Amino acid sequence: MIDVVITAHHERGAAGELAEKTAAWLIERGHHCWMVPDDAVSLGLPALASDRSPAEADLVLSLGGDGTMLRAVHLLDGAPVPLLGVNLGWLGYLTEVEADQLHDALARFAQGPVDGTWHLDERMMLDVATVDGAGNEIGRWRALNEAVIEKHEAGHTIRLLLRIDGEPFTSYAADGMIVSTPTGSTAYSLSARGPVVSPRHRALLVTPVAPHMLFDRSLVLDPTEHVEVEVIGHRRAELAIDGQRVAPLAEGSVVSCRPSISTARFVRFGEWHYHQILKAKFGLADR
């Protein structure tokens, strides 16, 4: 018997239908399942709503795409619960199975990771903390993809000072700064011309966004190195975690990023070929 918490995309009808059918399938086989209240209400499935913590589950089942997977990771808040992603979009980097493969995947998961039935793909995450100019804490977050310090007003750059292990590196006039994990290298960092890094690595990627300066290269840092980004100009900035804006930043605010001791754990069946997914995503030819 396994305990499963289901998360699903709020705006895709197929996600609600699949959640309902999957819950019935699990219950018929003696398993327990529930949904967080927001998901259950949004999808018209109030009977599945529960205040039970996702951290108590044996599995988090994500129905949607990569955005839904990111939300599932945040719901766990670092708890070591495996996640299984079901792709209801075009082609997800993080999801593992298609909808028609779901019941078979759940049956295999319930057997346990024996004889290579499934394994965990562990991904590095970032611990992000922010203080204001007076040193007062603004907040703490955990990111799977990235932390982004970005401009608040259109048409203006912001000035940011980058420190590595407490030592100033340089200041940037830019639209923003991305500090990402290897998993996040194919997210916002990629659109800012950052490097593509295998998610098997542990590293910090620092990529300026539209810098107004000659030095515009990304930095790939060792995971033991600590990154700080300080807002040094008078123009306001904002902090976004995995695409969600979480805090305003004024002059003197400092965003600190370091690898988290927690990891995101994705269920994989058989061999998982990250580079083949990347190839398909961009329609790359063999030659």
What's the CA gap between 156 and 100, in Å, rounded?
Answer: 48
Q: Which of 39, 66, 121, 242 is catalytic?
A: 66
Residue 87: both structure tokens together: 């792709």
CA 74, 242, 167: angle at the middle one, nearest 5?
A: 110
What's the CA gap between 119 and 200, in Å, rounded?
Answer: 14
Instruction: Yes or no: say if 159 and 165 are a contact pair by the CB < 8 Å rule.
Output: no
Residue 269: both structure tokens together: 């069946």
Comparing CA positions, the residue from 52, 64, 56 lying closest to residue 22 is 64
* Residue 175 is a catalytic residue: no
What's the CA gap between 47 and 45, in Å, rounded?
Answer: 6
By three-state DSSP, how is residue 124 classified?
strand
Backbone phi and psi for residue 265, each to the nearest 5 degrees, phi listed first: -120, 110
Q: Give residue for tokens 């988090």.
A: 60
Instruction: Yes or no: say if 146 and 187 are a contact pair by the CB < 8 Å rule.
Output: yes
- The answer for residues whose C-beta is within 8 angstroms of residue 134's C-beta and 6 or more apart is 252
Which residue numbers are catalytic?
66
